[in-house]
């Protein structure tokens, strides 16, 4: 049976951008409908950020327990090595996902947002048909917020299948592969590859560029590279994956070095992690008459497209493809539709990579600042001199906090860190930049002792030339 819905706001996509936009619209008294073809929460919650961090947590816990076998560590001894069951770990991970998925549904219901489950296909900018389990639903809206997100990018010569995974399949496996080759040494490949290595797989990375994790500058990468060396995990740089070979000798990935030399890497499975692309296909975007910016939907500083009352947010509109950016844009668009004056102009958006150790980048690196003609001073403080880090066994991985500020007025333009648990400092970094903090603000703010946050004022003091503890 078909149904017709007329709504003030139609949100397409139930990810961190879409559901936040819908909730805020509901809070502002707008009649709102959200359409999601999969489960509420989107890629981040269902098959990305949250499940990957859950498995990374499992991997870390298992690896730490192994250190207590035999002679023991910290006075804790285990007579036998712990047993690891990936299937049970995945089951636990799904309980986390299910809880958050249910929470999103409850929040939408509380905001009086109607959720329609199915695929939306647009006939024009304001009208779509949703194919649901109970039949087609016709939806007509005054405003449309496009939040379709992104999908994994693949390699045509190495199609996804039983033995070739995307990040989605990597988070659903119930058995560990003995040998795993990861194509791509960006944040997705590194996070998942390291997790599998810590769980017991033999992991090899293949990267077409001349370095790993290009989002971060080289000084930050040294502790990560050191971890890879200590765990004897090969990283083949300047190397391109060619094809998967299966013959009487087993399965292997054929790769080509920069000089064209071909070689093979034995493997049981291959994880392709070469990035993501905006989800623009299969739902009628071409019939909405919106301008494009390359592969992305073109928007202005309010996330408004070239079509009146059609908005786009999140991965659909370009880099950085981060959930927290999408959420911020979704909240902003809802308030604009409700009549408020808003624009999307953050000073900086922090990015985190949950590798070993973790990486945080917020604002400009020293080299980026200099490239913009900014004369800077830089202060750095090691976690090896931080009591809380040492007490948590996390101060010996070469990690540090680095503050970059203008030389003339000491306004902070960038804060970066590498080390265990540094993701939890990212909010303070972003807040400092957004509030226009100066080095004196950071150094003059009394931070709790003993905490890892003490490294931030110490780094600021180092930039001013008088660090206390280093």
**Active centre residues (catalytic):** 449
- Name which of 162, 177, 198 is nearest 265 in CA terms: 177
Question: Where does 37-178 show beta strands of DSSP type E?
Answer: 114-117, 119-124, 127-132, 135-146, 150-152, 164-165
CA atoms within 13 A on the CB side of 436: 1
Residue 344: asked if its preceding bond is cis (omega within 30°), the reply is no
Q: How far apart are CA 424 and CA 435, in angstroms?
A: 19
| Spatial contact of 421 and 399, defined as CB atoms under 8 Å apart | no
Contacts of 446 (CB under 8 A, 6+ apart): none
Residues in the chain, how many?
470
188: left (phi over 0), alpha (psi -120 to 50) or beta: alpha
The pairs formed by 152-155 with CB atoms below 8 angstroms and a separation of 24 or more are 152/272, 152/275, 152/276, 153/274, 153/275, 153/276, 153/277, 154/272, 154/274, 155/183, 155/241, 155/272, 155/274
Query: What angle is formed at CA 94 by the lines to CA 54 and CA 20, rounded to 5 degrees?
Result: 80
Residues β-bridged to residue 186: none
Q: How far apart are CA 93 and CA 170, in angstroms?
A: 13
Q: Determine the distance from the C-alpha atom of residue 364 to the mean position of all C-alpha atoms in its chain, rounded to a whole number.
A: 19
| Spatial contact of 184 and 274, defined as CB atoms under 8 Å apart | yes
What is the 8-class DSSP label of residue 298? P
| Spatial contact of 361 and 442, defined as CB atoms under 8 Å apart | no
Helix 86-110 to helix 49-66 angle, to the nearest 10 degrees? 140
CA 295, 300, 305, 310: dihedral to nearest 10 degrees?
A: 130
| Spatial contact of 166 and 160, defined as CB atoms under 8 Å apart | yes
- Name which of 402, 409, 322, 319 is nearest 367 in CA terms: 402
Question: Where does 226-318 show beta strands of DSSP type E?
Answer: 235-236, 240-247, 250-256, 262-266, 269-272, 276-278, 292-293, 296-297, 310-312
What is the 8-class DSSP label of residue 259? T
Contacts of 30 (CB under 8 A, 6+ apart): 8, 9, 334, 337, 338
């Amino acid at each position: 049976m078909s149904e017709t819905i007329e709504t003030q706001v139609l949100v397409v996509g139930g990810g961190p951008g879409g559901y936040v936009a819908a909730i805020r619209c509901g809070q502002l008294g707008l009649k709102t409908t959200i359409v999601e073809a999969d489960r509420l929460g989107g890629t981040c919650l269902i098959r990305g950020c949250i499940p990957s961090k859950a498995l990374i947590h499992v991997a870390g816990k298992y690896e730490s327990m192994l250190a207590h076998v035999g002679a023991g560590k910290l006075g804790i001894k285990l007579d036998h090595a712990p047993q690891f069951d990936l299937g049970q770990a995945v089951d636990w991970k799904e309980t986390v996902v299910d809880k958050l998925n249910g929470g999103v549904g409850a929040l939408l219901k509380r905001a009086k947002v109607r959720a329609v489950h199915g695929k939306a296909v647009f006939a024009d900018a304001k009208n779509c048909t949703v194919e649901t389990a109970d039949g087609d639903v016709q939806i007509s809206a005054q405003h449309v917020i496009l939040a379709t997100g992104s999908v994994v990018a693949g390699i045509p010569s190495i199609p996804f299948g039983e033995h070739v995974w995307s990040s989605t399949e990597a988070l659903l496996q119930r058995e560990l592969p003995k040998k795993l080759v990861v194509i791509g040494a960006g944040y997705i490949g590194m996070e998942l590859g390291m997790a599998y290595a810590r769980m017991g797989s033999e992991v090899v990375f293949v990267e077409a560029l001349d370095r790993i994790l290009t989002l971060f500058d080289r000084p930050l990468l040294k502790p990560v590279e050191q971890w890879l060396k200590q765990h004897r995990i090969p990283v083949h740089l300047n190397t391109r994956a060619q094809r998967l070979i299966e013959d009487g000798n087993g399965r292997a990935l054929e790769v080509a070095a920069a000089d064209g030399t071909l070689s093979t890497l034995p493997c049981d499975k291959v994880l392709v992690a070469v990035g993501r692309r905006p989800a623009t296909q299969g739902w009628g975007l071409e019939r909405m008459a919106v301008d494009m910016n390359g592969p992305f939907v073109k928007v202005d500083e309010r996330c408004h497209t070239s079509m009146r009352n059609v908005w786009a947010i999140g991965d659909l509109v370009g880099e950085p493809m981060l959930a927290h950016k999408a959420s911020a844009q979704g909240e902003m668009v809802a308030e604009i539709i409700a009549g408020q004056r808003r624009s999307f102009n953050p000073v900086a958006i922090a990015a985190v990579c949950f590798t070993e150790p973790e990486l945080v980048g917020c604002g400009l690196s020293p080299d980026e600042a200099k490239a913009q003609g900014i004369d800077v001073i830089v202060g750095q403080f090691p976690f090896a001199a931080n009591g809380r880090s040492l007490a948590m066994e996390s101060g010996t991985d070469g990690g540090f906090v680095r503050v970059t500020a203008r030389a003339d007025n000491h306004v902070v333009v960038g804060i970066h860190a590498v080390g265990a648990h540094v993701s939890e400092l990212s909010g303070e970094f972003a807040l400092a930049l957004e509030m226009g903090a100066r080095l004196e603000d950071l150094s003059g703010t009394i931070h709790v002792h003993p905490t890892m946050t003490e490294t931030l004022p110490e780094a600021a003091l180092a930039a001013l030339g008088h660090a206390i503890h280093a």
